Amino acid sequence: MNYLIIINDGPYGTEKPYNALRLAMSLQKNHNAKINIALLGDGVINAFSGQDTPEGYYNIERMLKAVLAKKGKVILCTTCMNARGMKAEFLLRGAEKSSLDEIARLTEEADKVLVF
């Protein structure tokens, strides 16, 4: 099954990104699902490279890398990045700048769309 997971919140203000990525990783592991993740609004901050969290605390960057390692896709709204002063060189390897048109295309192709 093909999933699009849209994340709107920043990485550590709420647990929405954490729970979205836990679900994505479980779907990949247990159900061989195709996962596409779209980061919108403050959600683009989840793809910052070099996140340094305390020992024993979840790390969104590592979780995104785990999704990417299983052939998942992570795309970021370029308009949302620009509004936050983010540059492509800040992104973790494998995450891609994209457009709302691409997110719309992935929405149409998805069997299920989940929004966090």
Q: Where are the domains of the chain?
A: 2-6+16-99
Pick the closest to residue 75 from 46, 49, 53 (CA basis): 46
Q: Is the pLDDT of residue 47 over 90?
A: yes
Q: What are phi and psi of 35, to 5 degrees?
A: -115, 125
Q: How far apart are CA 71 and CA 39, in angstroms?
A: 17
Tell me: the pLDDT tens digits for 9-43? 999 989 999 999 999 999 999 898 999 999 999 99
Q: What percent of the chain has pLDDT over 70?
A: 100
Tell me: the pLDDT tens digits for 2-12? 999 999 999 99
- The CATH number for 2-6+16-99, chosen from 3.40.1260.10, 3.40.50.720, 3.40.640.10, 1.10.10.10, is 3.40.1260.10
Pick the closest to residue 66 from 21, 116, 12, 114 (CA basis): 21
pTM for the whole thing? Answer: 0.94
Tell me: the pLDDT tens digits for 51-94? 999 999 999 999 999 999 999 999 999 999 999 999 999 999 99
Quote the pLDDT of residue 32. 85
